[in-house]
Structures are given as C-alpha cells and as structure tokens.
C-alpha cells in the first residue's frame, strides 16, 4: 500500500470531520490547537489584529512569521496549522528528494 492510500489516523480524521482547517478570516479554525496534546515544546496563542481571532503556534519561528504578516497592511487573512492534503505533501517530498 502506498503512503497516499493509507487511511488518516483517527484524530486527524476527527479534525477534518469537525471542519478544522477550513474557513477564512474569523471563521477559520486551526487544524491543531495549543493544548490538544501533551508536549514540552514551545506553544503560544496570540490574537490577531488583522483577522481578529486567536492563532495557535508551536514554535518561535511560526510566531515570528505571524507577527510580520499581522503587521503587514497588505495581508488580509492568516491561516496557521493548515492541513495540506497527503497527496500534495507526497508530491512536495518527491520534489525535494525526501
């Protein structure tokens, strides 16, 4: 069975069923939220001035990128923890030789 044919794990399927990773602006719901799994990694929630909702980040790099985008006047929407379809992820991996 190829990776593209493997079923999603139950937690990810539940998130998709809940329409996570869908919507725009204030209606977007992060696919993964801070506090959903135990981890010792850095995590932070920040309210956006651009979008007007709380964003969920799991690294300082994600937060730093968000702060730049939230400050930029040309940006009208920011969607973090966006689920990329598995088939697209596999294409990207092949292109990168992974």
Residue 7 has a pLDDT of 74
Residue 46 has a pLDDT of 96
Asked if 75 and 69 touch (Cβ cutoff 8 Å), the reply is yes
pLDDT in tens, 13-46: 899 999 999 999 999 999 999 988 776 678 899 9
* CATH 3.20.20.70 correct for 11-95: no
User: How far is 36 from 61, CA to CA, in rounded Å?
Assistant: 20
φ, ψ (nearest 5 deg) of residue 55: -105, 150
Residue 40 has a pLDDT of 66
C-alpha closest to that of 79 among 90, 91, 70: 70
């Amino acid at each position: 069975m190829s990776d593209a044919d493997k079923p999603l794990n139950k937690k990810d399927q539940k998130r998709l069923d809940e329409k996570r990773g869908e919507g725009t602006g204030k209606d977007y719901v992060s696919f993964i939220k801070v506090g959903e799994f135990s981890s010792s990694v850095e995590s932070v929630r920040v309210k956006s001035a651009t979008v007007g909702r709380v964003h969920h980040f799991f690294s300082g790099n994600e937060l730093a990128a968000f702060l730049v985008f939230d400050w930029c006047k040309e940006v009208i929407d920011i969607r973090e923890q966006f689920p990329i379809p598995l088939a697209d992820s596999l294409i990207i991996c092949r292109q990168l030789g992974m």
